[in-house]
Structure 1
Amino acid sequence: MTLNKISPLELSTLVKENKDIVIIDIREDYEIENDGKIDGAIHIPIGDLINHLSDIPKGEKIIFHCNSGSRSENILNFMIMNNLYLDHYFSLDGGFSAFKNLV
């Protein structure tokens, strides 16, 4: 099984169209304080994520992101290896940095 990725452009379109998505920001507090966040994103730091998977609201697409995309890919690969991954989980390709540069 391979993890799903979503491009910053596709995410921007989904946000603008108010589609049924949930955005999970797994960055640390200081990263959000310094750089801001995507409107409507739910902040669950990566260290807390596995313990809070059941708290994630339902959505057609659940999009995880960090700053560059590497931590969100790592956590989704961890989920795949531990049978926690669901088909509607996505990693934001390029992370928040790529999204911020787009909008």
Structure 2
Amino acid sequence: MRKLFTTLLALVGIFAFAGIAFAAEGKAAMDPGALGTTYMAAAIGMAIAAAGCGIAQGIGLKAACEGTARNPEAGGKLMVTLILGLAFIESLAIYSLVVNLILLFINPLA
């Protein structure tokens, strides 16, 4: 139930900020405030993505350290799995960065 609630809350947040970021069109695109709104949406999106990925990486590292402490012989297998997992988590932050760069370089004033 908690995972469903978190997923729905994330979707609502995505839809709310995407609407703000892409709302400028026509004459409204000439408004300098539209560019500021895009910058704000990109900054908030990247901050949320970086915070989430940082927390996830910390939890993964903690679990790997605990696993190695309990069974030192399994340290090699845990290290490979940890590095693979951290790469997947970091890719989420990179995807968020790419989306935010797209938002920033689509200039509504041009």
Greater C-alpha Rg: 2
For normalisation by structure 1, the TM-score amounts to: 0.25
User: Hey, which of these two has a bigger chunk of strand by percent?
Assistant: 1
User: Hey, which of these two has a bigger chunk of helix by percent?
Assistant: 2
